[in-house]
């Protein structure tokens, strides 16, 4: 599963706005869904509202664990990438920008991690 940068950015933005990451994933792109303060559930990738149909609980739980593990791994990779980039650049503005992205990603990763426990 490849997660585009803008999906991660969008997810981070949703969290900042007070949205909650759900255990459910988007049926299209398998990315965790977010519940907005308004109660709407949206996918950060397709940017559309999602309506749930209940499926077999156990199967769903297993799939979700797998998916969030994959997502966590993807985010870890991104964090590594940014760390590597940071060590090579000297422009303070650029470093600051990367540092912000890094802290957002770490936040996101922690949130996913907590969900799994
Ligand atoms: Zn989607």
Sign of dihedral through CA atoms 84, 89, 93, 94? negative
Residue 105 alpha carbon to ligand 1 centre in Å: 19
**Which residue in this structure is represented by tokens 């199967």?**
59
Q: In what helix (H) or strand (E) does residue 35 lie, and over which residues does it extend?
A: strand 32-35
Q: Give the pTM.
A: 0.45
Per-residue model confidence as pLDDT tens digits over 32-90 = 899 888 888 888 888 667 665 555 666 677 667 767 778 888 889 989 999 999 999 99
- In this prediction, residues 85-108 reach a mean pLDDT of 90
Q: Which of 25, 32, 17, 9 is nearest to 78 (CA)?
A: 9
Residue 31 is classified by DSSP as: P
Q: Is the pLDDT of residue 26 over 90?
A: no
State the pLDDT at residue 114.
79
Residue 88 alpha carbon to ligand 1 centre in Å: 34
Residue 99 alpha carbon to ligand 1 centre in Å: 28
CA distance from start to end of the chain? 22
Residue 25 is classified by DSSP as: E
Residue 75 alpha carbon to ligand 1 centre in Å: 17
Residue 71 alpha carbon to ligand 1 centre in Å: 14
At 42, phi and psi to the nearest 5?
Answer: -130, 160
Residue 2 alpha carbon to ligand 1 centre in Å: 13
Residue 45 alpha carbon to ligand 1 centre in Å: 5
Q: Which of 7, 2, 3, 39 is nearest to 20 (CA)?
A: 39
Rg (CA), the chain: 15
């Amino acid at each position: 599963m490849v997660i585009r940068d803008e999906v991660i950015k969008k997810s981070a933005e949703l969290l900042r706005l007070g949205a909650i990451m759900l255990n459910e994933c988007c049926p299209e792109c398998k990315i965790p869904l977010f519940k907005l303060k308004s109660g709407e559930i949206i996918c950060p990738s397709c940017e559309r509202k999602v309506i749930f149909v209940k499926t077999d609980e156990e199967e769903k739980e297993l799939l979700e664990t797998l998916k969030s593990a994959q997502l966590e791994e993807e985010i870890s990779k991104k964090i590594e990438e940014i760390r590597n980039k940071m060590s090579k650049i000297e422009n303070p503005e650029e470093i600051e920008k990367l540092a912000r992205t890094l802290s957002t990603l770490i936040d996101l990763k922690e949130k996913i991690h907590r969900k799994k426990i």
